[in-house]
Amino acid sequence: MTETPDAEGTPDPETDPGSPRRGLSRRGLLGLLGAGAAGLAVGGAGGAAIAASVASAAGAGVPGVHPFFGAHQSGITTPVQEHLHFASFDVHDDTTRDDLIALLQDWSYAASRMTQGLDVSASGAVGGSPQAPPDDTGEALGLPAAALTITIGFGPTLFDKDGVDRFGIASRRPDALAVLPRFVGDDLDPLASGGDLCIQACADDPQVAVHAIRNLTRIAFGRASLRWSQLGFGRTSKTTSAQSTPRNLFGFKDGTANILADDADALDGHVWVAESDGPAWLVGGSYLVARRIRQTIEVWDRLRLAEQERSVGRSKGEGAPLSGGGEFTPADFNAAGDTAAPAIDPRAHVRLAHPDANGGIRMLRRGYNFVDGNDALGTLNAGLFFLSYQRSPEQFITVQRALSTDLMSEYLRHVGSGVWAVPPGATPGSYVGAGLFA
């Protein structure tokens, strides 16, 4: 493997004890052999920990601990956690196919541990040699797993970057995996868009999510670099009927009609890639679309309440459709309003985004609010980090095009965008994306 020089020189991962890769790659491969083998190979507490991890992966159901291994990656239908750290990575041009595979193995190994509340490796933050940098950065020491999920995706440029097939996988790119078309309202920052790989880390403690992204970024050293990243809070969706419907920064409930994790028919119909969709390596996976959406909240806040509600098509308090009823009453787009206009405006967000207006299309959303300081005019840099999982990016594209006349979109500006194929879950002894390289 060729290292990319950085300001501190070019360490050799095979000889430099300072390279996290050296330790992790070795242990990663051992760990991925399976619980028993890893237990024997690593020994002691480390082995027990890995065994516990795999046991949990089998569905032991410890509260606040989600399995890493399984038919699907966790973090899609997992009850939406309170915090997000999302990261997009560029794989270095001199990284080889084998390096990329090793990176995915190392990430899978570390993720299989961190999601169980363990350090990234058996020696962790303080169990290694005092004369070596610790494998784990340590800020999550003593914290529980906090429902951490780590979800890995592959962007279009991983398969084909400016016509170059860097990793011998161009022929395996799904046709549907392509940079999203330009939409009305797009004002994309290229440096906050795209990326060869992505990792979505969700947890109920932001320090746990940050620890995961930081350590996975560190593990990627010399092979891939952080391209852009985003923290989020205040989940703007729900994936179980037990979760209350949260509010976005426009002050409205968001996610009322989301696909729920126990709605197997809807998941099969709208979220999971089916055998008939192909390719085979992606069956049981999904497509992730991320959009960084700035909300011009200061302008929105000066709208009359009636105009806010007209734009959304729902009441601000209860979140009921303006056609009447409660939050979960289906919207009646034909209901008459107080005037000649229908109760729900023809350009209301709820109407244009509704499955009825889009050939029945639905998506599983799990976006987050964000506030990233303010600009020089004192305007909060705030908005929605939209995340949706769907069986095909075409679902997002269709709905986003339908929203071009959305009244609410006057107060939105899409400044970041990305799409990734999210492989199915890894089986114990393997790694996320193994099918792509088989």
# residues contacting a second copy (CB under 8 A): 72
Q: Which residues ranging from 49 to 108 are in contact with a second copy (CB under 8 A)?
A: 83, 85, 90
Sign of CA dihedral 387, 307, 250, 188: positive
Q: Which residues ranging from 191 to 210 are in contact with a second copy (CB under 8 A)?
A: 191, 205-207, 210
What are the phi and psi torsion angles at 268 (to 5°)? -65, -35
CB of 393 to a second copy, least distance (A): 25
Q: Could you give the C-alpha distances from 381 to 21, 250, 293, in angstroms and in order?
A: 36, 14, 10
Q: Which residues ranging from 321 to 380 are in contact with a second copy (CB under 8 A)?
A: 369, 371-374, 376-380
Residue-wise DSSP of 313-356: TB-SSS--BTTSS-TTSPP-TT-B-SSSSBSS-TT-HHHHTSGG
- Of 5, 18, 36, 359, the one binding a second copy (CB under 8 A) is 18
Return the number of the residue (191 or 438) whose C-beta is nearest a second copy.
191
Return the number of the residue (250 or 389) whose C-beta is nearest a second copy.
250
Return the number of the residue (41 or 380) whose C-beta is nearest a second copy.
380
- Of 58, 141, 164, 341, the one binding a second copy (CB under 8 A) is 141
> Would you give the DSSP letter of residue 56?
I
CB 293 within 8 A of CB 383: yes
CB 168 within 8 A of CB 97: yes
CB of 152 to a second copy, least distance (A): 18
Q: Which stretch binds a second copy (CB under 8 A): 24-32, 61-69, 303-311, 395-403?
A: 303-311
Residue-wise DSSP of 181-239: PP-TTB---GGGS--SEEEEEEESSHHHHHHHHHHHHHHTTTTEEEEEEEEEES-S--S
- x/- track of binding to a second copy for residues 174-193 (CB under 8 A): -----------------x--
For the chain, the C-alpha Rg in angstroms (whole number) is 22
Instruction: Tell me the two tokens of residue 427.
Output: 């089986």
Q: Could you give the C-alpha distances from 314 to 68, 326, 329, in angstroms and in order?
A: 38, 10, 11
Q: Which residues ranging from 215 to 254 are in contact with a second copy (CB under 8 A)?
A: 217-218, 225-231, 233-234, 244, 246-252
Q: Which residues ranging from 271 to 290 are in contact with a second copy (CB under 8 A)?
A: none
- Of 99, 106, 309, 345, the one binding a second copy (CB under 8 A) is 309
| 436 contacts: CB under 8 Å, gap ≥ 6 | 154, 169, 172, 281, 423
Return the number of the residue (49 or 76) whose C-beta is nearest a second copy.
49
- x/- track of binding to a second copy for residues 414-433 (CB under 8 A): --------------------
CB of 124 to a second copy, least distance (A): 9
Return the number of the residue (379 or 404) whose C-beta is nearest a second copy.
379
* Distance in angstroms (rounded) separating the CA atoms of residues 396 and 414: 14
CB of 56 to a second copy, least distance (A): 24
Return the number of the residue (249 or 267) whose C-beta is nearest a second copy.
249
Torsion of the alpha carbons at 247, 252, 258 and 260, rounded to the nearest 10: 40
Per CB under 8 A, 304 contacts a second copy: yes
Per CB under 8 A, 302 contacts a second copy: yes
Per CB under 8 A, 385 contacts a second copy: no
CB of 420 to a second copy, least distance (A): 18
CB of 36 to a second copy, least distance (A): 29
| 317 contacts: CB under 8 Å, gap ≥ 6 | none
Please state at what angle helix 20-31 crosses helix 97-114, rounded to 10 degrees. Answer: 70
Return the number of the residue (121 or 390) whose C-beta is nearest a second copy.
121
* Distance in angstroms (rounded) separating the CA atoms of residues 136 and 143: 13
- Of 23, 117, 128, 285, the one binding a second copy (CB under 8 A) is 128
Per CB under 8 A, 313 contacts a second copy: no
* Distance in angstroms (rounded) separating the CA atoms of residues 154 and 42: 31
| Residue type at position 87 | A
- Of 64, 133, 144, 342, the one binding a second copy (CB under 8 A) is 133
